[in-house]
Amino acid sequence: MAYIDGLNKAFDNKVRLGIMSILMANGATDFTTMKSLLEVTDGNLASHTRHLEEAGYILCEKKFIGRKPNTLFSVTEAGRAAFSQHIQALENIVKLHS
């Protein structure tokens, strides 16, 4: 068994790893907060959230608050399970080399 077998390719990018970490720790988070925490551009965040949404790992809810658009992200059960497995695989790699 290779060391990297348990890793999930969907989380191999630092922005996606950050998105999932924020959502797992804080629950639902809006686009503006996520962008600020990760210090990325609108386009960069939109691209990575779209990838995670297409994988079924996050949900994207778009609505208006007054006249301002608001996009809220949350983790799906599948996303929670996949990310937890990914983190466990990382921990296993670290333990093997400690």
* pLDDT in 10s for each residue of the chain, 98 residues: 566 778 999 999 999 999 999 999 999 999 999 999 999 999 999 999 999 999 999 999 999 888 888 999 999 999 999 999 999 999 988 888 77
Q: What is the DSSP letter of 75?
A: E
| H or E segment and range at residue 29 | strand 29-30
Cβ neighbors of 89 (< 8 A, separation 6 or more) are 4, 5, 6, 7, 8
Q: How many CA atoms lie within 13 A of 83 on its CB side?
A: 23
**Confidence (pTM):** 0.90
| Whether 52 contacts 23, CB under 8 Å | no
* C-beta separation of 97 from 4 below 8 A: no
